[in-house]
């Protein structure tokens, strides 16, 4: 069987796998390491939960009819900035770790015939999925926390604006996840296969 394939002296070009196939592999990658994925996702979740709770408690202040003093407004802005920073660090760190610990695997994938753009696509989908679900859960948790601690004022709560904040949080969380995973994934995909396989983390 092998001798026959070697009869043709021509080299063809590797097919680019369709998005569906990359999606399936990415999903499988997440489900076979559920524990690791949860930890990575939890990084995103916590950051976004914090951010969302800050947004929601600002909304809750308005619902209570409290007119924030300049000092309070400044404190709120500072909290938003802090929570953004926490999200950023938490998400980029966990994503970076989850890619770099798989350099050897990326090298092996390349040995077996994976194209560079397939590897990038795979990590893009993986980090996108983790980022999306992480920040979805995170923003729900953050919102619930504020609602539960302020049950008396829910009547006047601006749900429309809260939903908008939630959406913003999810977009931000997803973008941050993908943005953090992409540079190391591209770097690994572009490496010579041997170098990627030799990389120790």
Partner 1 sequence: MSSIATAEVQNGAATTPAVSNADDYRASEHIVRVRGVKRVYKIGEVQVHALRGIDLDIKRGEFMAIMGPSGSGKSTLFNMVGGLDKPSDGTVFIDEVDIAQLDAGELAWLRCRKIGYIFQTFNLIPVMTALENVTLPMIFAGAGVDEQMEKGKRLLETVGLGDRLHNKPGQLSGGQQQRVAIARALANDPAIILADEPTGNLDQKVGEEIIQMLKRLNKESGVTIITATHDDKMYKRADRVSIVIDGEIQAVVPPEQLGDNTVDGFLAQLKEEKDAAAIRDLETAAEVTATNAAITGEG
Among 50, 55, 103, 109, the residue binding partner 1 under the rule CB under 8 A is 109
Q: According to the binding rule CB under 8 A, does residue 42 interact with partner 1?
A: no
Among 46, 56, 95, 114, the residue binding partner 1 under the rule CB under 8 A is 114
Q: According to the binding rule CB under 8 A, does residue 12 interact with partner 1?
A: yes
3-state secondary structure the chain: CHHHHCCCCCCCCCCCCCHHHHHHHHHHHHHHCHHHHHHHHHHHHHHHHHHHHHHHHHHHHHHCCCCCCHHHHHHHHHHHHHHHHHHHHHHHHHHHHHHHCCHHHHHHHHHCCCCHHHHHHHHHHHHHHHHHHHHHHHHHHHHHHHHHHCHHHHHHCCHHHHHHHHHHHHHHHHHHHHHHHHHHHHHHHHCCHHHHHHCCC
Cβ–Cβ < 8 Å for 138, 52: yes
Q: According to the binding rule CB under 8 A, does residue 143 interact with partner 1?
A: no
For partner 1, which is the closer residue by CB, 14 or 74?
A: 14
For partner 1, which is the closer residue by CB, 29 or 94?
A: 29
Q: According to the binding rule CB under 8 A, does residue 5 interact with partner 1?
A: yes
Q: According to the binding rule CB under 8 A, does residue 74 interact with partner 1?
A: no
Minimum distance from residue 17 beta carbon to partner 1 (Å)? 7
Q: According to the binding rule CB under 8 A, does residue 201 interact with partner 1?
A: no
Among 20, 69, 70, 112, the residue binding partner 1 under the rule CB under 8 A is 112
Chain mean position to CA 52: 16
**Interface pattern 156-195 for partner 1 (x via CB under 8 A):** ------------------------------------xxxx
Q: According to the binding rule CB under 8 A, does residue 100 interact with partner 1?
A: no
Q: Kindly list the residues in this chain that would bind partner 1 in the complex (CB under 8 A).
A: 1-6, 9-17, 21, 25, 29, 32-33, 104-105, 108-116, 118, 192-195, 197
């Amino acid at each position: 069987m092998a001798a026959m394939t070697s009869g043709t002296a021509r080299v063809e070009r590797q097919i680019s796998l369709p998005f569906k196939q990359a999606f399936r592999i990415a999903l499988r990658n997440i489900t076979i390491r559920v524990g690791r994925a949860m930890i990575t996702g939890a990084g995103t979740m916590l950051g976004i939960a914090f951010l969302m709770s800050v947004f929601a408690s600002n909304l809750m202040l308005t619902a209570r009819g409290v007119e924030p003093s300049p000092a309070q407004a400044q404190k709120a802005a500072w909290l938003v900035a802090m929570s953004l920073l926490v999200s950023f660090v938490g998400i980029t760190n966990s994503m970076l770790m989850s890619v770099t610990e798989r350099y050897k695997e990326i090298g092996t994938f390349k040995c077996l015939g994976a194209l560079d753009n397939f590897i990038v696509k795979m990590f893009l989908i993986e980090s996108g999925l983790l980022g999306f679900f992480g920040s979805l859960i995170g923003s729900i948790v953050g919102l619930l926390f504020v609602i539960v601690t302020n049950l008396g004022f829910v009547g006047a709560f601006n749900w429309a604006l809260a939903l908008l904040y939630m959406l913003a949080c999810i977009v931000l969380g997803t973008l941050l996840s993908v943005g953090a995973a992409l540079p190391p994934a591209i770097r690994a995909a572009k490496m010579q296969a041997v170098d990627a396989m030799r990389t120790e983390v």
